[in-house]
Amino acid sequence: MEFPKNIDIPLDRWVDHAMDWVLATFGGFFDTLGTAILYFMIYTEKFFLWLPWPVLVAGVGVLAWRVMGRWWSGLLMAAMLFFIGALGFWELGMMTLSLVAASVIISLAIGIPLGIAMASSDRFESVLKPILDGMQTMPSFVYLIPALMLFGLGKVPALFATIIYAVPPVIRLTNVGIREVSPSVIEAAHAFGSNYWQILFKVQLPLARPTIMVGINQTTMMALAMVVIASMIGAKGLGLEVLLAINRIEIGRGFEAGLCIVFMAIIIDRITYALASRKKS
């Protein structure tokens, strides 16, 4: 009962031919896009490296205190960020933070409009949902191949691979948040003569803001989870330290870099989650 060997769908060759066609037809466009994205990432990285460390540590502490409502929470977040510098990974940590920030900014610019479009059209939702399922379930390493082919080694393919992995949560939760707005509220807005855009920006988005904030939180965490994989195609930062530690079997070095990633994830998660919780209240 073996599967018939004469049945062979050459999907791999079809995909290769499609990528060759894309490179031949849109190569100039992707070169221009890659250059623009590279400049954006360079200036983002320069900004985080330019920030004096006491200012950033104090700013994170004050922000965490204000949004979490407890002074010791702000002190703990600031201590975690200080600990990253004390281990000697401040510059690499800022490189990682710049990659996460750039990927989250672009993910939100793509994801929130797509989530709004999904909430506005059931047909578009049915088309986009399987695509999002594939983006979330496909192994992350698969994203690296087309990114490398289109943009080469460096920061840009790492950014695009991170975006593909991180953007689905904000799309899904924007859609869910808008669809959960009570129909009676929308009917009342229609009764007062509001048009589509007024209802969207003054009714639906404000009421869906807590759910959208959770989506932003999840997108940020997934972008941070990609830093080690992104380091395999040229992204510098804490992920590269983990990768070098694996290659050289340096347990201490890998533990330090991994702990810094964990602390950065805790800081971002607690602050963004507190922002979402505060909007709910």
Q: Which residues contact 267 (CB under 8 A, 6 or more apart)?
A: 60, 64, 77, 80, 81
- pLDDT value for 109: 92
Q: pLDDT, tens digit, for every residue of 180-208?
A: 888 888 888 888 888 888 888 888 888 88
- pLDDT value for 21: 86
Q: Hey, what amino acid is at 196?
A: Y
- pTM comes to 0.83
Q: Which residues contact 92 (CB under 8 A, 6 or more apart)?
A: 236, 237, 238, 240, 241, 257, 260
Domain ranges (residues) in the chain = 14-49+89-280, 51-86
Q: Is the pLDDT of residue 29 over 80?
A: yes
- DSSP SS3 for 127: helix
Q: pLDDT, tens digit, for every residue of 66-76?
A: 888 888 888 99
Q: Is the pLDDT of residue 171 over 90?
A: yes
Q: What is the mean pLDDT of residues 211-218?
A: 87
Mean pLDDT over each residue of the chain, to the nearest integer: 85
Note the Cα 178 to chain centre separation in Å: 21
Q: What is the mean pLDDT of residues 53-62?
A: 90
- pLDDT value for 173: 92
Q: pLDDT, tens digit, for every residue of 120-151?
A: 888 998 999 888 888 878 777 777 777 777 77
Residue 8's pLDDT band (boundaries 50, 70, 90)? confident
Window from 39-43, 141-145, 238-242, 264-268 with minimum mean pLDDT: 141-145
Distances (CA, A) of 85 to 117, 173, 175, 235, 262: 42, 35, 39, 20, 14
Q: Is the pLDDT of residue 281 over 50?
A: no
Q: Is the pLDDT of residue 279 over 60?
A: no
Contact 241, 89 (CB under 8 A): yes
Say which CATH architecture domain 14-49+89-280 belongs to.
Answer: Orthogonal Bundle (1.10)
- pLDDT value for 278: 63
